[in-house]
Structure 1
């Protein structure tokens, strides 16, 4: 127990001091962990496996991270925070119509999935359904942020309908499920570097979506 406490104290000291080398090593561990979680499954992957893949012994890893859960949590929360930040920036851009905000966040989400792969894959494939039932502080915070992001998306869709850029005869929630459900399913087949880019996928999906969502014209 004393040894563990000492390591934890030293880790906090290193985190406080920061430094490029320390942050680079943590980023490498995050990347390696995500790859192993995808290959072996989150539950089957040990911190020792991550240490060995990084060329470190287990004791050294503890200077950078306290558990495999910490590695996973940090990646997921970082991605979610970044997506919310993008959405907030779109809200503050008064030059955009709601339909433009909706498209930009849609494309941004797919690019984010690609940029943060395979951590995003692991979250959707293995962990997303568990978070809702988890009562830890981290899980509750993730759910709070997820609901916040969901309300932003609903707002974009509702405003686009009010502005006449989307049909108004389909419930807003169903529109959201249809549009973003396309992205949620990509984890079953999309692999970065093989075929289309994330942006190309999102632009194609958007074209399919918008082609069926334009308001019916009186002269049609």
Structure 2
């Protein structure tokens, strides 16, 4: 006999199919009504979940522990989210959407050169990591294709991630094509070098550390831009 998933509500032990349907309706109703108290508690749940996902990883994090630290019982978690997968998505999807919106705005900003646009989104991303700590780092540290195998609901998040990567890649390609960056290095390698430095900060960066997010981004940008400067350009 297969063990039950400890992160899913038990059927027939304290909760029936009917009660599961009932709490789903209550959850949808509460979101529609949008009371301040409900929104506050849901936000708190996501914040605490982010800490657990960062510390334990997606697979090992337990809803019971997240509920306890939020000050609610495990069953009440389903009043705010339908599953651990939905909780994980809620932790990071809004941050990703905001970063994509920033990138789209900068791509369309014709007052900036392509290198200036790349610099701006780079700094903004690290500031976002800091402002939304540890939510974004949860996303970075997890291997998303492994999560997708466990949680099909994350497929949409992976699609957004690929779209965001394409936006960043476009800025790098345009900067190379315009002669603002050297073009003798493959654009994918250049992008990986630049954003790889940023993403690796999940191993050591904390908002209360010696450097701010902007200071980290500017230091990394200096390393990248000097190495990628087109010969003959100031």
**2:59 corresponds to:** 43
Deviating above 6 A after TM superposition, structure 1's stretches of 4 or more consecutive aligned residues are none
2:164 counterpart of 1:144? no
Look up the match of 1:207: 222
Comparing 53-62 with 204-213, which one deviates more in the overlay?
Answer: 53-62
**1:24 to partner: Cα distance:** 1.2
Q: Aligned partners of 2:148 and 2:181: how far apart in 1? A: 31
In structure 2, which of residues 79, 90, 98 is the aligned counterpart of residue 74 of structure 1? 90
Asked if 1:115 corresponds to 2:115, the answer is no
- Secondary structure of the residue aligned to 1:191 is coil
Q: Gaps (5+ residues) in structure 1?
A: none
**Distance in 2 (alpha carbons) for counterparts of 1:148 and 1:199:** 24
Contact 1:134 1:140 in 2 (8 A): no
Distance 1:134 1:40, change over 3 A: closer
Distance 2:107 2:142 in 1: 32
Structure 1 residue 112, shift from structure 2 partner: 1.4
Kindly indicate whether residue 18 of structure 2 is the aligned counterpart of residue 9 of structure 1: no
Unaligned runs of 5+ in 2: 1-16
1:85-119 deviation digits (Å, cap 9, x = unpaired): 11111122221111111011111111111222222
Counting matched residue pairs gives: 218
CA apart distance, 1:153: 1.1
Task: Give yes or no for contact 1:51–1:58 (8 Å, CA) kept in 2.
Answer: yes
Q: How far is the alpha carbon of 1:171 from its aligned partner?
A: 1.1
Task: Tell me, yes or no, if structure 1 residue 196 matches structure 2 residue 214.
Answer: no
- Corresponding position: 1:124 with 2:136: no
Pick from 142, 146, 170: which aligns with 1:155?
A: 170
Q: Distance in 1 between matches of 2:198 and 2:185?
A: 20
Q: Which residue of 1 aligns with 2:191?
A: 176
Q: Is the 8 A contact 1:131 1:143 kept in 2?
A: no
What's the TM-score once normalised by structure 2's chain length?
0.86
Shift in CA distance, 101/42, structure 1 to aligned 2, threshold 3 Å: same
Instruction: Report if aligned partners of 2:85, 2:151 keep a CA contact under 8 Å in 1.
Output: no
**Distance change (3 Å), C-alpha of 1:139 and 1:70:** closer
Residue of structure 2 equivalent to 1:61: 77
Say if 2:53 and 2:61, in contact at 8 Å, map to a contact too: yes
Q: Which deviates more, 183-192 or 202-211? A: 183-192
1:4–1:126 Cα change, 3 Å: same
Classify 1:154/1:45 alpha carbon distance in 2 versus 1 (closer, same or farther; 3 Å): closer
CA distance in 2, matches of 1:126, 1:214: 33
TM-score (norm 1): 0.91
